[in-house]
Amino acid sequence: MVLGVDVGGTKVAVAAVEGVTATHAAEHPTVTVSADALLDGVEQLVRSVIAEAGEPEAIGVGVPSQIEFATGTVETSVNIPLVGVPLREELGGRFGIPVFVDNDANCAALAEAHIVGESHLLMLTLGTGVGGGVVIDGLTFRGAHGLGAELGHIAVNPDGPSCPGNCPNRGCLESYCSGQALERDATELATDKPDSALATRRGPEGKVSAREVVAAADAGDPDALVLMENFARMLGIGIANYVNVFEPARLAIGGGLSRASHLFFDRAVQEAEARALPALWKRVSVTLAEGGADAGVIGAGVLAALEIERDRDTGPAKATTSKGIE
Ligand SMILES: [Zn+2]
């Protein structure tokens, strides 16, 4: 048994994980005042799960940040105050067992691959931004230092809008297929067309949220449907690119925006089919993600289980330094 920890911008979730089954799940709000306070909160929650579930062999942690994998050091992070913190050492010292840390989208992709039993899988997570992960032979592809694969930051239009992420590029997939992108376009449209249905959906700050765009499209509003058509087309272009590079057996779409998949999924697949190399396309299945709300903790748990298995084969990973528990 291992523990999976999913650190989100608003909540931390912890569960005992065996295979792809999570039990003894617990969660609490993320404390964001300081790194120490956040880690204290994680420690408290982990200890409460250990008290119920028993001592784990290792702990896997998913964080919404760029992670240098060897040390689990957070390189950049939008929502949580952990930049520069070597999480493997910090948490390994607190618990005295191996700790492994990865980007949350990598964990989600790993969970999906193991839940559906597919060893070559690519997953896109469509939410506020666009995240993603690539699983090859059942293991996460991370690049040389663990900072890959940033699937949201491929340009699908060289002259497109500035990327809303922590990214200097323009026309990234995240510039089109994210909640932030929908909000930007809908707000601009509402400003240009004050008599439009979208203009009536502006919030207190004058912005039209992605949720309102989806609601307007569901109500048949032609402006919102045009925004969703653009979203779907750009997503299809991205999917074709990923299929051509990675040739996954399965490409899964998850994240909060996937709940609005009836507004973009079929159109995105149609666009991808028209663009991907036929020999690769006919072998891939594009689906919605099957992992549910606990996919984050399951993916972190699968990560820990895979890493201790690898350590048994090759000796302990050098980056796991344990200060012991005083
Ligand atoms: Zn970008």
**pTM as predicted:** 0.92
Across residues 203-226, what is the average pLDDT?
A: 97
Question: Is the confidence at residue 321, as pLDDT, over 70?
Answer: no
Query: Residue 265: which H helix or E strand, with range?
Result: helix 265-275
3-state secondary structure 137-190: CCEEECCCCCCCCCHHHCECCCCCCECCCCCCCECEHHHCCCHHHHHHHHHHHH
Contact 285, 123 (CB under 8 A): no
Give the separation between CA 139 and CA 69, rounded to whole angstroms: 14
The contacts of residue 130 (CB under 8 Å, 6+ apart) are: 124, 151, 152, 172, 173, 174, 177, 178, 255
CA 152 – ligand 1 centroid, Å: 6
The pLDDT score that the predictor gives to residue 313 is 85
In the chain, what percentage of residues exceed pLDDT 90?
Answer: 92
Q: What is the pLDDT of residues 9-30, one digit of tens each?
A: 899 999 999 999 999 999 999 9
Of the candidate ranges 32-36, 136-140, 319-323, the one whose mean pLDDT is the lowest: 319-323
Question: Is the confidence at residue 319, as pLDDT, over 80?
Answer: no
The pLDDT score that the predictor gives to residue 238 is 98
The pLDDT score that the predictor gives to residue 153 is 97
CA 156 – ligand 1 centroid, Å: 10
CA 304 – ligand 1 centroid, Å: 29
CA 96 – ligand 1 centroid, Å: 38
CA 61 – ligand 1 centroid, Å: 25
Q: What is the pLDDT of residues 231-286, one digit of tens each?
A: 999 999 999 999 999 999 999 999 999 999 999 999 999 999 999 999 999 999 99
Q: What are the C-alpha distances in Å from 141 to residues 77, 87, 89, 105, 205?
A: 20, 20, 23, 12, 40
Q: What are the C-alpha distances in Å from 25 to residues 12, 106, 196?
A: 11, 21, 45
What mean pLDDT, rounded, does the chain reach? 94
Question: Is the confidence at residue 297, as pLDDT, over 60?
Answer: yes
- 3-class secondary structure, 239: helix
CA 95 – ligand 1 centroid, Å: 36
CA 168 – ligand 1 centroid, Å: 7
Bridge-based pairing state of the strands 250-254 and 139-141:
unpaired
Q: Residue 326: which pLDDT band, with cuts at 50, 70 and 90?
A: very low
The residue behind tokens 């989100």 is 8
The pLDDT score that the predictor gives to residue 77 is 86
CA 151 – ligand 1 centroid, Å: 9
Contact 170, 162 (CB under 8 A): yes
Across residues 219-235, what is the average pLDDT?
A: 98
Across residues 201-210, what is the average pLDDT?
A: 96
Which tokens go with 94? 């607190």
Give the separation between CA 48 and CA 266, rounded to whole angstroms: 44
Q: What are the C-alpha distances in Å from 246 to residues 135, 197, 263, 274, 295?
A: 10, 41, 26, 18, 23
CA 25 – ligand 1 centroid, Å: 34
CA 69 – ligand 1 centroid, Å: 21
Of the candidate ranges 136-150, 204-218, 311-325, the one whose mean pLDDT is the lowest: 311-325
CA 36 – ligand 1 centroid, Å: 30
The pLDDT score that the predictor gives to residue 322 is 45
Question: Is the confidence at residue 2, as pLDDT, over 50?
Answer: yes
Q: What is the pLDDT of residues 71-130, one digit of tens each?
A: 999 999 878 999 999 999 999 999 999 999 999 999 999 999 999 999 999 999 999 999
DSSP letters of 12-58?
EEEEEEETTEEEEEEEEEPP-S-HHHHHHHHHHHHHHHHHHH---S-
The residue type found at 37 is A
CA 186 – ligand 1 centroid, Å: 20
- Using CA atoms in the order 244, 247, 249, 252, what is the torsion angle rounded to 10 degrees? -50
DSSP state of 83: B
CA 78 – ligand 1 centroid, Å: 14
Question: Is the confidence at residue 317, as pLDDT, over 90?
Answer: no
Query: Residue 77: which H helix or E strand, with range?
Result: strand 73-77
